[in-house]
Amino acid sequence: MQTMIRKENLSYNKSDYQTEPFLNLSDPNVVKKIRDAIDFAESNLGKEYPLFIGGKEYYSNNKIKSINPGDFSQVVGVFQDASIEQAESAVNAAYEAFKTWSKLDVYQRAHIFFRAANILRQRRFEAIAWMILEVGKNYAEADADVAETIDYLEYYAQQMIELYENKPKLLKFPGEKNYYHYLPLGVVLVIPPWNFPLAIPAGMSIAALVTGNTVILKPANDSCFMSYFFYSIMKEAGLPDGVLNFLSGRGSVVGDYLVKHPLVRMIAFTGSKEVGINIYKEASIVRPGQKHLKRVIAEMGGKNAIIVDDIKDEEFLNYAVNSVLVSAYGYQGQKCSACSRLLLHKNIYDKFMNLFVEKVKNIEVGLPKENKFMGPVINKAAQDKILEYIEIGKKQNKLVFGGSKLLEDKGYYIQPTIFEDVKVNDVIAQEEIFGPVLAVMKFEDFNQAIDIANSTEYGLTGAVFSENRYNIDKAVKDFYCGNLYINRKCTGAIVGVHPFGGFNMSGTDAKAGGPDYLLYFLQGRSVSEKIDF
């Protein structure tokens, strides 16, 4: 372990804390730096990367290839398909490291994460470039992902300091000294998705680590490199061996094994509803040698609605049009927060649709490294599933625009797609599609709009564009979702500003990037000492 670092030696001041600003992509020098970083990354494609267990490198017989979804010719990296034996080694390494990491001084732990934030700032363009190649984000989306990761590193570190310094106050009781504090849980299994390939694996891991737990990070197969990149940042920042273990592999093999392992104390998962429900079920079973009930955070899907009220102001209506476009088609609709249902008041329906459809027709679809607004979906399975939903929509609803594959010889591209005449219980209005497909519905009055918005099993994000204060207040009371946005897009949650997480089948209500998120990774302990005999 490193030399003890006390509070007074920390290069951090709460009053100085602010969210990480985005890059100015209108600056040609910034764009050139991104393009230079892409060139450098492309000169290093196809390398093989090991597992990291207890700080040591391991290889396996079977491999996982990370392919650029926008350009089939590029293998981003070759990763290990970990075995059950290697998964067992990762648990043991994390379990042993917990014995010392959990006892480490809070300020010393926090210092590592502040240092990691500065390292990531220095390697920002490198991170952006690799993300563009591995998961098909454009420049702005990739930069926002990196900025969010920097925010998690600093925000969770300062939140942990505050929890340590501001312990809950207990009632006084005669003759006793009583206090309350928090302890870490143990080994945490982190299973992230591919769509925020740095921010989500990092965010869940940081929350577990900064609170004193140890982590096994099992990345999504489509974004192994970005989780490896996060591991390298934390290693460079001085995180001790075994505290964070990088274990690429199949979810159906090592993922399932680790979820059921008696020494795994908690699972932090973000992904599909089906996988999340199965993890929740398996984690509830107490297995031989298990001394605890497992804790689970499951952040799952969304079927998010934007309501556009009867807007009179022309400028405001145009603003709403642009906000819906970014919410629905930003990163190809591959955000759990994306707008997939558009609810339009009958009085503005035709005008809004005329403006909106024209803008959607002008969306550029193409190679992410060329910074097109829309790139590819993540893989062939995703493309096939989205196209299946489009075929269902063609049978049940009216196709306004899109619905076809593009650039088939290059990658997994799909046109931005719009359906109208969609009824509340139609398939494309109820099931998460996770792609650039928007279902448009007309409503008569605001009460009906709220009922439609609340009609799915999900409850993640939603937005309302309205000039009517009464309707806005009604939405705040009755629109049932974890993140409600008034007169702004429903994507782009910022750490510490928009704590993120949903209700119902959207998840277990944990709010990532919020003031109480770290408590999920801690357990409270009450100590009472008799002082008056």
pLDDT interval class at 17 (50, 70, 90): confident
Please identify which of the residues 336, 339, 481, 490 carries the catalytic annotation. Answer: 336
The reported pLDDT for the residue numbered 364 is: 97
Q: What is the DSSP letter of 19?
A: P
Look at the domain 7-300+510-525 and name its fold. Aldehyde Dehydrogenase; Chain A, domain 1 (3.40.605)
**Contacts within 8 Å (CB) and 24+ apart, 18-21:** 19/147, 19/151, 19/494, 19/495, 19/496, 19/497, 20/121, 20/147, 20/148, 20/150, 20/151, 21/147
* Distance in angstroms (rounded) separating the CA atoms of residues 330 and 67: 21
**pLDDT single digits (tens) 460-485:** 999 999 999 999 999 999 999 999 99
**pLDDT single digits (tens) 250-297:** 999 999 999 999 999 999 999 999 999 999 999 999 999 999 999 999
Helices (H), 261-413: 273-283, 314-329, 349-361, 380-396
Q: Could you tell me if 463 and 327 are in contact, meaning their C-beta atoms sit under 8 angstroms apart?
A: yes
The reported pLDDT for the residue numbered 532 is: 86
Please identify which of the residues 134, 299, 420, 432 carries the catalytic annotation. Answer: 299
* Known catalytic membership, residue 336: yes
The reported pLDDT for the residue numbered 49 is: 98
pLDDT interval class at 234 (50, 70, 90): very high
- Helix, strand, coil % (nearest 5) of the chain? 40, 20, 35
**What is the CATH code for 304-494?**
3.40.309.10
- Fold: same for 7-300+510-525 and 304-494: no
pLDDT interval class at 9 (50, 70, 90): low
* Known catalytic membership, residue 490: no
**Contacts within 8 Å (CB) and 24+ apart, 168-177:** 170/526, 174/532, 175/530, 175/531, 175/532, 176/528, 176/529, 176/530, 176/531, 176/532, 177/528, 177/529, 177/531
| Number of other residues whose CB lies within 10 A of the CB of residue 46 | 11
pLDDT interval class at 14 (50, 70, 90): low
- Domain residues of the chain, as ranges? 7-300+510-525, 304-494
Q: Taking all residues of the chain, what is their mean pLDDT, rounded to a whole number? A: 96
pLDDT at 3 over 50: no
**pLDDT single digits (tens) 414-461:** 999 999 999 999 999 999 999 999 999 999 999 999 999 999 999 999
**pLDDT single digits (tens) 55-87:** 999 999 999 999 999 999 999 999 999 999 999
The reported pLDDT for the residue numbered 162 is: 95
The reported pLDDT for the residue numbered 533 is: 82
